[in-house]
Amino acid sequence: MMININELCQTSIFNLYNRVAKNLFDQKKQLLPIIHINPDHKKIIYSLHGYMGAPYEMNFLTKDLDIKDFSIFHDLILGYGNHPGVANKISKEEFLEYAYKNLEFVFQNFSEIHLAGFSTGGLIITKFLVDHPEYHHKLKSLHLISPFYLPYSSLLPKLNRFLIKKVELLDVKILHKITRFPDVKIILLEPDFYLQKIPLKGAMEIESLANQLVSQMQQLKPINSYIYLTKKDKVLSCRKTIPFIKKYFNDKNLYIFNEKKSPHHLLHPLVSNQSKIIVENFTREINH
């Protein structure tokens, strides 16, 4: 099996960022995609992080794994990981194009694929699987952590559209001071790995993508999935997402928690009591 690493680099974060960002941000090495690719491997793990995050938060899934038998690609959603102004300049078509190129690279060069997505990452991965059923035979497992399909409240998109008329970037510290929103905690605890201002235009693109996917879900074939939700989530609607999952996925491995500390960020061990369960399930499935 021959993997053209140069081809991967040509669609890398550097070239795509340079096109839209120019000198708007300072590159931070720890926020780049985490890639360990061996052309001799048959297995690969591909993951996508959440809104305002970076590949760092998906590394909790694999940091303790022995990677001698498989490759790892923790990808970066185009526009994230650096200055929030960059995220505001990226359309959903652009970040889908970037993710799709990398996912196609993965599926075309490996025979056993394990996918993991948190929040927006789960949304993008699901959209890819809906659009590309021809790759399903290579997919060995799918792990979705708080996948963002249906927002917690219809008021949130309306509030976002109101705010964006006045400001494009909303300071996270101000938001937390006013709302005490629990999932802002991890963003403030680890400022090196999360955007510290909320890209409101970027949020609208994600909302638009979620609406688009929901209307397409009948095209998705049943997939072996591990899906994790919590009833206290204030980002997505757990009440609406549970029947949505049961309708369109194999829900044999649907986990519904009562996490309160930071309910949306179920994978991050700093704020989640469920992280260990998610990692154990993932590790068992990878080594199956």
CA nearest to 62, candidates 122, 123, 130, 116? 116
What's the token pair of residue 203? 């949020």
Cα separation, 39 vs 261, in Å, equals 41
pLDDT tens, position by position, 81-135: 778 888 889 999 999 999 999 999 999 999 999 999 999 999 999 999 999 999 9
Q: In the prediction, which pLDDT does 19 show?
A: 40
**45 CB-side CA count, 13 A:** 29
175 is written with which tokens? 């938001």
Q: Are β-strands 197-199 and 224-230 bridged in parallel, bridged antiparallel, or unpaired?
A: unpaired
Residue 139 near residue 45 (C-beta atoms within 8 A): no
The 8-class DSSP code of residue 57 comes to G
pLDDT for 22 = 38
Per-residue pLDDT of the chain (288 residues; tens, 9 = 90+): 334 444 544 444 434 444 433 333 344 444 678 888 888 889 999 999 999 999 999 999 998 887 788 899 999 999 887 788 888 899 999 999 999 999 999 999 999 999 999 999 999 999 999 999 999 999 999 999 999 999 987 656 666 666 666 777 888 998 888 888 888 889 999 988 999 999 989 999 999 999 999 999 988 887 879 999 999 998 999 999 999 999 999 878 999 998 877 789 999 998 899 999 999 999 999 987
Looking at residue 157, its pLDDT comes to: 63
Angle at CA of residue 64, ends 143 and 96, nearest 5°: 40
Q: What confidence score (pLDDT) does residue 260 get?
A: 79
Amino acid sitting at position 29: K
What is residue 92's predicted lDDT score, i.e. its pLDDT?
95
Q: Are 55 and 31 in contact (CB under 8 A)?
A: yes
Residue with tokens 């699901």: 126
Domain spanning 5-286, CATH architecture = 3-Layer(aba) Sandwich (3.40)
